[in-house]
Amino acid sequence: MARQSPQRPDADEPELDDTDAAAAADEVEEDRPPADRALWDEVRIDPVEIALPAGTGFTLRAYRQARELTPTDVTERDQDDPFLARRQVVETEEDEEVVILDEEFAALSAEDDDEDGEKDAKARRKGKADASDDDKAEADDDAEDDEDDEDEDESGDEEVPVFLTHKGRLLLFKTPESLVTFIRSGAPNDLSQLDSWNELSERLEPADIAPLDEDTYELDLVVENLRGGHDAWDHELLIEAGEVARDLAYALRLPAVLDMLSAGSSLDDLDEALRASVNGGVGGFLGRRRLKKIGAQTASLGWRTIVGKISAVVDWRD
């Protein structure tokens, strides 16, 4: 039996080339109504999408004043963390806690640590000299107490991030439907302390889980991008990664990550140089010069540690 030849399109029907097909797809995208943001604006909570080496998931994030929030309980998480168990063994003579970071990154950052150690030693010597005068020391203590009270008041007024977490773990959902099902279930989580949580759980639909571009983060691409060298660095990708990593480190109580991204650290220098380089004029020029001086290997190793520590405290939900 002879094989039939494929049917030809009707001569009256025009064929669409690749350009026309792409234009038609774009037109469909434009006709699609944007996700309704009214609910998110009312409850002051946002959907967030985070890509990690293990996959991509949806979660929620909000910002509230620190005094309004109870931090996530990390007791259970830390008991099962071999890194923390190892860290407790290494202590100074004064029983000060020492944070052991990724060994390769720590080795590359040894010079910075030495400089910090010299500064700390000078500060300790100065403190001993001041303590020789008992009356002066007592007055200084009173002044410091007053400053501490002021700092506590200021920190209580500061807006801080809080995510959909539970017992020190970030809850990431692979689909909008599974995220909505969890929220409606009434399961315990750290966002339930917000006064708008009940309203969100009653009104939320899967179609509402549509994160904005600025709430979508690709942490899975950071290390590879940094390894590509200065000319390949994606400034927007790296800046946004720094923002969400700081938020996650604060909300999940990850002091090692906060330390690696703190002011004066090598990764903070990278972040500042990236931000300066995207600006025009002299500031942008100086920022690009600073980037050339930052080691790609050090940056990639540091970020590998950060992504690893965040990934280690994720609770994936289907």
Instruction: Provide the CA 173 distance to its chain's centre, in angstroms.
Output: 17
Residue 73 CB neighbour total at 10 angstroms? 14
Query: What's phi and psi for 96, nearest 5 deg?
Result: -80, 135
The pLDDT of residue 131 = 47
Tell me which residue of 194, 205, 184 sits closest to 163, measured CA to CA.
Answer: 194
The pLDDT of residue 47 = 98
Q: What pTM, to 2 d.p., does this model score? A: 0.71
Location of structure tokens 């989580």: 189
| Mean pLDDT, the chain cut into blocks of 10 residues (318 residues total) | 44 49 49 71 98 98 96 91 53 44 59 51 50 52 56 71 98 98 97 97 96 97 94 94 98 97 93 86 75 88 97 96
Domain definitions of the chain by residue range: 35-83+157-317, 103-156
Task: Say what the alpha-carbon torsion angle 8, 11, 16, 18 is, to the nearest 10 degrees.
Answer: 50
Considering only CA atoms, give the Rg of the chain: 26
